[in-house]
Structure 1
Amino acid sequence: MSRISSVLTTVVATTACVCASASPAAATDPVVSRGVTIPAFYTPPAELPSGNGKLIRHEPLRLGLSLPGLPGLDGRRLPGTATRLMYTSTDSNGRPVAVTGAYIEPSAGWKGSGPRPLVVVGSGTMGQGDQCAPSLALENPLTLTGRTVSFGYETLAVYRLLATGAAVVVTDYAGLGTTDRLHTYVNRVDEGHAMLDAARAVRSVPGASVTAASRVGMYGYSQGGGASAAAAELQSTYAPDVPLVGTYSGAPPADLTEVTKGIDGSALAGALGWSINGFAQASPALREVVEANLNDAGREALKDISTTCVGDAILGYGFTKSTKWTKNGKSVGEIIAGEPAAQAVLDDQRLGRLRPTGPVRLATGTQDDIVPHAQARQLAVDWCKKGADVTYKAVVLPNLGDKLLTNHLMPLLTDQGDAVDWLADRLKGKAAGSNCWTMPAQP
């Protein structure tokens, strides 16, 4: 327990998120998760508008961290004015889905050419419960209750992006926040679509200065890095109307087979449960394998994990090995590898098979053992082979502790300024270089 407490302290100190969530309830009943009530806004309507990126509803959103307006800002608050959103998207099975998020119109003026640009932010891992939604974390940066501790760790990146004069929209992803389904954690299609459709939806937000001609950038680290990478790969066929000019992908989980090995038994072992839950919901083939191989302890763990956020998962499941969840004592990864139909589900999630639209900056910590460095670097290699414009950066840091999350989290902070600057240059229309053919050797 002392080791887990130490990890949680490190995570909070390095601005990681901790939340809690809920399962769907009757439309007339409030959804409550671990003592926290989900606002009614997050319950989708019975019927969704046709089309992708259609604004379903919106309302003002109070930013938990903001400052009064300064002289010259006409009384506008810093960093800007926020709006909570619900919009349409399409999931990996081709079904319409409602997604929530938040749009922020910045107080800072845009000094570049053309209309104000937009950055779509895909948050890093928040959890699987609805209360973990990034838009809720923007409203309540720190929440402490009997069973919930939440901290909005993406706020720093969002505010740095707003300071460039770009508008920002943060997606909650499919099923995170919305109370009608489970969050499909690290599903590349669901996440990529959610990011691209967020860019479409903000055009209909009253008072938004973003237009259809606004340059668009994608930004994300960890889960968000995978989401932004997927959006860049899917843009040309799914959303060619979104003028994507640059993508930052930090520590992307590009190969889930390798990532499964990294998180199993780590401080963030609960993330393996989120992944299993999400893919079991979306894929009958994987669901059958899971149901056939889990023991009672595994079933109970996955049920509980489905309502947790990062902090809850660390406290409850940190350093748990999935061998404790299976009937035959094999790890979940070993079981999936032995079942072709289930392995095909993970293989289909592999990033790097499609050429991304526009230039991409990919950064990964060389010591990252949660979202392994080698598989993230391989994504850069795969994109380079397809002729993409890739700026790859290996973030070299000392080993800060095996499987403790520290090796994964520190590059998020140390590389963030460079990542924001790189993306800001793309939004200004500046050309990007590529270091594909001078990429640092694999350490």
Structure 2
Amino acid sequence: MPHPAQSLVLRAVFVLGILLGPAMLSIPPVALAHPGLRSPLPSADPFYRYSGSLADVAPGSVLRSRPMTFRTPSLTTPITGHQVLYRTTDQSGRGVATVATVLRPLIPGPTRLISYHTAYDALSSQCDPSYTLSGGYAGRTALAEQGVIAGYLAAGYTVVVPDYEGEELEWSIGRQSGNAALDGVRAAQHFLTLPRTTPVGLAGYSGGSIPTQWGAEIAPKYAPELNIVGAAAGGLPVDPAHNLSYIDGSAEWAGVIPALVVAYQRTYALDTSQFLSARGQQAANQVSSQCISQFAGSFPGLTSADMVKAPYTGLLDVGSVVRVVNDNIMGSQGTPRAPLLLAVGHSDAIGDTLMVTDDVVGLAHEYCTRGVDVTYAQYNGLTHTQAFAAFEPEAFAYLAERFANAPTRSNCASIPAGNSLAPTPMP
């Protein structure tokens, strides 16, 4: 007789296999546009805008809502939900608004709430989860993650999916993403009139690991009332400085370099004219209206040195860049209260081709020294893309056990020190 959590896992994996097939096994950065779009892009949709003052509005408050249907560009499902515009807090502590998609399972039961964070990694609103989950646009990663969400729904979970980058598409920004995730949970609870005691799980891979990990890290101070029973984060960018060095000149991921510059410019108002070269400015301009499926592999061989002009020899020679990179190092802002699953692929001497394995090890070890219940998983031989398929079922099983209040399988005792989380010295 299987454990109840195992039964849920089997059911979800069955659903995922039917929905995804080959997409789960290979998720190259190729976008699939829907030729028959009817809805306006979020950037042109008044629903996403809030013109009133948010100064006296509590974080997580629902500002407006509307119904939606959970669908892909080619498949309509019987699952319906709502989009909610809600108040959250940006990286600087200001009140801002963003949207979350709230989905209820077809089979009712005790409410278990999953905040699922997609790896939409976007500088353009066409990749907002609220838009893709409504059938507006789909890259292969978005379709795969939509299948994962369908698995959670099939297993009876209520799912909230926040547009955690916010209205300005500020990608990879730590506290802000965590705030948006936690406030998305609050908004879902308000909208569904759920009690604060409702158990909550956080989940996300790659870009989705950012709101997951940061949400867990800042929750004890930012949203202490939430009953977060566990968080599962895979493929984590622990220290952006290390990631920048790792993908320098990459054929597959070098487009992330100018995309990070754009994200930091939007968030921190960097004066990029002081350090970007002509090529660097051209690359930043090109990616500023794209999503990762479009920009990641568009600059094969691009280096940090290519991005800057004299006297700089790379982005990490620029003091303003180092300052904002250090502001986004995981583990630097708090200590999670909930148990964690932290996972990463490992396909070469450094990492999974995008994430640095020993950075994730270092984060896990650091949390363990602070008394956090951590389970670390490493997928040897798998690249960042391939490890997605290994992580999602493990994350599902881990969270199912947390909701069932099963004993954890923390392996803190065997996690080595890994890389230091110390900030990069200022140039």
Q: Taking structure 1 as the reference length, what is the TM-score of the superposition? A: 0.79
Where does residue 156 of structure 2 map in the other structure?
A: 165
Deviations 1:351-406 (A, max 9, x none): 123321210011111220211212112111111111110001111225xxxxxxxx
Using a 3 Å threshold, how does the CA distance of structure 1 residues 20 and 415 change in structure 2: closer, same or farther? closer
How far apart, in 2, do the equivalents of 1:20 and 1:93 lie? Answer: 35
Q: CA deviation at 1:418?
A: 1.6
User: Which amino acid in 2 is paired with 1:41?
Assistant: F
* Residues 331-370 of structure 1, C-alpha deviations (whole Å, 9 max, x = no match): 6xx332x344532321221112332121001111122021
Query: Which of 333, 338, 362 is residue 358 of structure 1 equivalent to?
Result: 338
Counterpart among 99, 116, 119 of residue 124 in structure 1: 119
Whole-angstrom CA distance in 2 between matches of 1:173 and 1:38: 18
Contact 2:361 2:416 (8 Å CA) reproduced: no
Contact 2:212 2:231 in 1 (8 A): yes
Shift of 1:152: 3.2
Q: CA deviation at 1:137?
A: 1.2
* 1:40-189 alignment, distance < 5 Å: 40-48=46-54, 50-65=57-72, 77=78, 80-110=79-109, 115-140=110-135, 151-175=142-166, 178=167, 181=168, 183-189=169-175
Deviation at 1:57, TM superposition (A): 1.3
Q: 1:18 to 1:239 in 2, by over 3 A?
A: farther
Residues 31-42 of structure 1: matches in 2 within 5 Å?
38-42=44-48
Q: Partners in 2 of 1:388 and 1:12 — Cα distance?
A: 31
4+ long deviations beyond 6 Å: 10-13, 440-443
Structure 2 CA distance for partners of 1:329 and 1:361, relative to 1, 3 Å: same
CA-based RMSD of the aligned residues comes to 3.0
Aligned to 2:315: 335
Counterpart mapping for 1:240-319 below 5 A: 240-266=224-250, 267-284=252-269, 287-288=270-271, 290-314=272-296, 316-319=298-301
Seen in structure 2, the aligned counterparts of structure 1 residues 299 and 46 have a Cα distance that, compared at 3 Å, is farther
CA contact (8 A) 1:125 1:222 kept: no
Question: Partners in 1 of 2:29 and 2:108 — Cα distance?
Answer: 30
Alignment pair present for 1:194 and 2:147: no
**Which deviations, in whole Å up to 9, do the C-alpha atoms of 1:30-52 show, x marking residues without a partner?**
x987xx97433223334346110
Instruction: Give ranges in structure 2 of 5+ residues lacking alignment.
Output: 1-21, 34-38, 420-427
Shift of 1:325: 2.6
- The 3 A distance-change label for structure 1 pair 364 and 67 is same
Contact 1:42 1:100 in 2 (8 A): yes
In the TM superposition, residue 96 of structure 1 has moved relative to its aligned partner by: 0.8
Q: Are 1:120 and 1:170, in contact at CA under 8 Å, matched by a contact in 2?
A: yes
How far the C-alpha of 1:85 sits from its partner, in A, is 1.8
Q: Which amino acid aligns with 2:335?
A: R
Aligned to 1:214: 198
Matched residue type, 2:321:
A
Residues 398-432 of structure 1: per-residue CA shift (max 9 Å, x gap): 5xxxxxxxx10111112211210110111222232
Structure 2 Cα separation of the partners of residues 120 and 44 of structure 1: 23
Residue by residue over 1:242-288, the C-alpha shift from the partner in whole angstroms, topping out at 9 and shown as x without a partner, is: 1111000101111111111233333232222222122223325xx14
Q: Relative to 1, partners in 2 of residues 1:116 and 1:32: Cα closer, same or farther, differing over 3 Å?
A: closer
Distance 2:335 2:141 in 1: 36
SS at match of 2:102: strand
Q: Distance in 2 between matches of 1:142 and 1:130?
A: 10
Which one-letter code corresponds to 2:88 in the other structure?
S
Find the counterpart in structure 1 of residue 423 from structure 2: none
Aligned equivalents of 2:47, 2:29: Cα separation in 1 = 22
Q: Which residue of 2 is the match for residue 7 of structure 1?
A: none
Does the aligned pair in 1 maintain the 2:65–2:84 contact within 8 Å? yes
Helix, strand or coil at the partner of 2:381? coil
Contact 2:80 2:103 in 1 (8 A): yes
Identity %: 25
SS, match of residue 394 in structure 1: strand
Q: Is the 8 A contact 2:249 2:301 kept in 1?
A: yes
Q: State how far apart, in whole Å, the 2-side matches of 1:32 and 1:315 are.
A: 27
1:232 aligns with 2:216: yes
**Which whole-Å CA distance do the structure 2 matches of 1:16 and 1:217 have between them?**
28
**Distance in 2, Cα, partners of 1:67 & 1:136:** 14
CA contact (8 A) 1:116 1:209 kept: no
Q: Distance in 2 between matches of 1:441 and 1:293?
A: 35
2:273 partner amino acid? E
Question: Alignment partner of 2:236: what SS?
Answer: coil
Partner of 1:427: 403
> Structure 1, residues 119-149: CA drift from partner, whole Å, max 9, x if none?
11111143210111012111127559xxxx9
- AA paired with 1:216? V
Spell out, residue by residue over 1:198-251, the C-alpha distance to the aligned partner (whole angstroms, 9 max, x if none). Answer: 00001232xx37432210110011111122111111000000111111000101
Does the aligned pair in 2 maintain the 1:160–1:420 contact within 8 Å? Answer: no
Paired letter, 1:257:
A
Count of matched residue positions in the alignment of Structure 1 and Structure 2? 385
Instruction: Say yes or no: does 1:396 pair with 2:403.
Output: no
Question: Judging changes above 3 Å, is the alpha-carbon distance between structure 1 residues 211 and 81 closer, same or farther for their aligned structure 2 residues?
Answer: farther
Amino acid of the structure 2 residue aligned with 1:190 = Q
Change (3 A) 1:19 1:96: farther
State the 1:90 CA deviation: 0.5
User: What is the CA–CA distance in structure 2 between the aligned matches of 1:263 and 1:199, rounded to whole Å?
Assistant: 34
User: What is the letter of the counterpart of residue 60 of structure 2?
Assistant: G
Contact 1:120 1:219 in 2 (8 A): yes
